[in-house]
Amino acid sequence: MFDRWLAARTAQFDSSGIRKVFDLAAKMKNPINLSIGQPDFPVPDEIKQAAIDAINGDRNGYSQTQGILELRERLQADIARQYGHDDRRVLVTSGASGALVLAMLALVDPGDEVIVFDPYFVMYPALAALVGGKAVYVDTYPDFTIDVDKVAAAITPRTKLILFNSPSNPTGVVADAATARGLAELAARHNIALLSDEIYRLFCYDGALPSPAQWNPDTIVVDGFSKSYGLTGWRLGWVHGPAAVIDKMTMLQQYTFVCAPHPLQWGAAAALDVDMSAHAADYSQRRQLVLDGLRDAGFEVAPAAGAFYVFPKAPAGRGTGHEFVAQAIENELLIIPGGIFSRRDTHFRISYAAPVPVLQRGLEILRKLV
């Protein structure tokens, strides 16, 4: 009966593999959980207090669709200092995911091609399909660095958008300046939209993040508060780019999300005055602990310079990524199979956004499995 009701597009989607692992974790008594892609530090008190004050001050109705003026002015001033682009505008969204949805709706028509780098964030191919587009994959194995010549070879007359994510989820790789500039110039040369997903900007451990917006003023940049401030449940993101694109995304937000959560935007405005560098430094140390532990155990793992993930290869003789993860789960260790993020099933993702004792327990289990 219900098959007749459901839109054909729904047949293309299954529950996220990550969500399935989360559901499994909820049923386990004492899992070592290295699967969750969210910070483990608490939201700073001044951010919480600003949101509480907004709620108690009855700022609980709709905000302007584009976000409260106080937050937008701060963000606009920051990007003006960074880029100096006269035409760059800001929109506050319901999470970075909301910004991605709006961007895809604004840019991609049915039949358009969207270039996605493999491995990829799980939403990218799904969002392309949701709006009727086609994901075109550019392989980055084995070291997960982008070859701009491969991207150029993937461009066709139907190419509409390049989806770029640095620091990367799931690999933790940060694209260098030459790569970011190469993509920026390639997109400009072919008049293709370039979206740079920079949600992990804070967690960039070896220097400032090179953004393609530095070289291509038409780059659309997605950012947010979830990862940097531990606000994943608040659903607050933001996007900046050419005014013509941001205006269309704002209009689309009116008819979808309406606005980002109003009182929580006041917390986000307060967050911009909070220094989170100590947390980033702590995560950098955890990154090194995990990389050293994996390599000492014999795992093949690419350098990870950002986000809070590493993407090791499943050891020889232990089957596919999914099969190795099943063995880990049998030993109470929750990690994510790489096939969720890729057309290959050879790797697995570890999140080191977990306390050091938990990371050490997880590494010990991985050593035993090898």
Instruction: Write the pLDDT tens digit of every residue in 204-234.
Output: 999 999 999 999 999 999 999 999 999 999 9
What residues pair up with 136 in beta bridges, in sequence order? 115
> Which whole-number Å values give the CA distances from 298 to 172, 293, 337, 344, in the listed order?
19, 9, 18, 21
Q: Is 32 in contact with 361 (CB distance < 8 Å)?
A: yes
pLDDT attached to residue 2: 72
Helix count (H) and strand count (E) of the chain?
14, 12
Residue 11: pLDDT band (50, 70, 90) is confident
All structural domains of the chain with their residue ranges: 2-43+276-369, 45-271
Amino acid 25: pLDDT: 63
Residue 192 · residue 218 · CB < 8 Å: no
Report the predicted TM-score, pTM, of the whole model to 2 decimal places.
0.94
Give the per-residue pLDDT at 9. Answer: 82
pLDDT single digits (tens) 31-65: 899 998 899 999 999 999 999 999 999 999 999 99
Judged against a pLDDT cut of 90, whether residue 16 lies above it is answered with no
Domain 45-271: assigned CATH number: 3.40.640.10
SS (H, E, C) 262-324: HHHHHHHHHHCCCCCHHHHHHHHHHHHHHHHHHHHHCCCCCCCCECCEECCECCCCCCCHHHH
Q: Which CATH class is domain 2-43+276-369?
A: alpha beta
Question: Are 140 and 118 contacting, i.e. CB atoms less than 8 angstroms apart?
Answer: yes
Q: How far apart are the first and last CA of the chain?
A: 49
pLDDT in tens, 154-209: 999 999 999 999 999 999 999 999 999 999 999 999 999 999 999 999 999 999 99
DSSP string, 145-167: ---HHHHHHH--TTEEEEEEESS
Residue 12 has pLDDT above 80, yes or no: no
